[in-house]
């Protein structure tokens, strides 16, 4: 049996991913601060904003795994240090813990966001942050280097750069790491995005595309990247947004 760990599995995209893997016969260990409504192989309660809690959760995960799917995230309406801790620092902390827990050919697949598409403008700062060694040092860096604008965007920029920058190192270990960058998805977090981005912006995107993504639209991309069909895809940031980001960055809309 294949064995996977899915974070953020109590809701939205993570719940869709975990249930699809279970339906395929895999063993699925769910990590979330909330308990999923479906039955996984095992659920481990964790606060991803706290490195000690993450380490305690890791101790409960025995054996090795074919994949880590790091889906959990919080919106920019939460306090900025929390957003940065969960969306960036926990992603790296968990990924690094899995370098020793993956089976040969195993993969790490992370949910970032199209909200992080502006990473090239902040690459120097992001590389500086990624040069820190620990969760605690990363948080200290963030406190000392307040970023302009929305912390959610910055947290996703960091995650997109992290997954792209680690592809080669993981390839040399026989593993893969990739990220999926969704546009708006119909999950509970969307109400917070309406608050932080403005309802008009999100409605405008929905009008252009006819609908928002469903959790399964994103789960399909994550499951592809976590599968052997994606064996030569490494360090890739896959935009899964129905086409909106391409139109924005090329100035079509």
Q: Which residues are the active-site residues?
A: 152
Best CA proximity match to 6, nearest among 236, 218, 252 = 218
Among 4, 6, 11, 107, the residue binding ligand NAI under the rule CB under 6 A is 11
Query: Does 34 contact ligand NAI by CB under 6 A?
Result: yes
What's the closest the beta carbon of residue 174 comes to ligand NAI, in angstroms?
27
* Residue 14 is a binding residue for ligand NAI (CB under 6 A): yes
Name which position in 6, 18, 46, 69 contacts ligand NAI (CB under 6 A).
46
Which residue, 97 or 190, has its beta carbon nearer to ligand NAI? Answer: 190
In the region spanning residues 71 to 90, those forming contacts with ligand NAI, defined by CB under 6 A, are 71-74, 86
**How many whole angstroms separate alpha carbon 177 and alpha carbon 167?**
6
Cα-based distances in Å from 206 to 22, 61, 111, 180, 203: 31, 40, 21, 20, 5
Q: Of 222, 210, 153, nearest to 186 (Cα)?
A: 210
Complex with ligand NAI: residue 174 or 246, whichever CB lies closer: 246
Considering only 19, 107, 147, 187, the residue that binds ligand NAI (CB under 6 A) is 187
Q: Does 69 bind ligand NAI (CB under 6 A)?
A: no
Q: Give the residue, chosen from 26, 42, 97, 190, that forms a contact with ligand NAI under the rule CB under 6 A.
A: 190
* Of residues 50, 131, 33, 133, the one with CA closest to residue 86: 50
Distance CA 120, CA 117 (A): 8
In 3D space, the residue among 28, 46, 5, 13 whose CA is nearest the CA of residue 220 turns out to be 13
- Counting contacts by CB under 6 A, is residue 163 touching ligand NAI? no
């Amino acid at each position: 049996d294949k064995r996977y760990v899915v974070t953020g599995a109590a809701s939205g995209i993570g719940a869709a991913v975990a249930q699809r893997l279970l339906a395929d016969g895999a063993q699925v260990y769910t990590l979330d601060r909330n308990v999923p409504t479906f039955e996984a192989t095992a659920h481990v309660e964790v606060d991803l904003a706290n490195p000690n809690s993450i380490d305690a959760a890791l101790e409960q995960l025995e054996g090795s795994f074919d994949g880590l799917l790091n889906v959990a995230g919080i919106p920019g309406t939460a306090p900025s240090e929390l957003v940065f801790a969960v969306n960036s620092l926990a992603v790296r902390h968990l990924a690094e813990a899995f370098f020793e827990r993956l089976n040969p050919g195993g993969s790490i697949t992370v949910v970032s966001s199209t909200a992080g598409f502006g990473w090239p403008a902040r690459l120097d700062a992001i590389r500086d942050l990624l040069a820190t060694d620990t969760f605690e040092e990363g948080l200290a860096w963030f406190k000392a280097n307040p970023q302009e604008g929305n912390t959610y965007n910055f947290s996703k920029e960091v995650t997109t750069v992290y997954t792209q920058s680690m592809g080669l190192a993981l390839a040399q270990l026989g593993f893969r790491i990739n990220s999926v960058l969704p546009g708006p998805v119909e999950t509970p977090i969307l109400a917070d995005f309406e608050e932080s981005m403005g309802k008009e912006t999100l409605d405008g995107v929905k009008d252009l595309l006819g609908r928002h993504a469903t959790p399964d639209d994103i789960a399909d991309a994550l499951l592809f990247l976590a599968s052997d069909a994606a064996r030569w895809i490494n360090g890739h940031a896959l935009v899964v947004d129905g086409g909106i980001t391409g139109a924005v960055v090329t100035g079509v809309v």
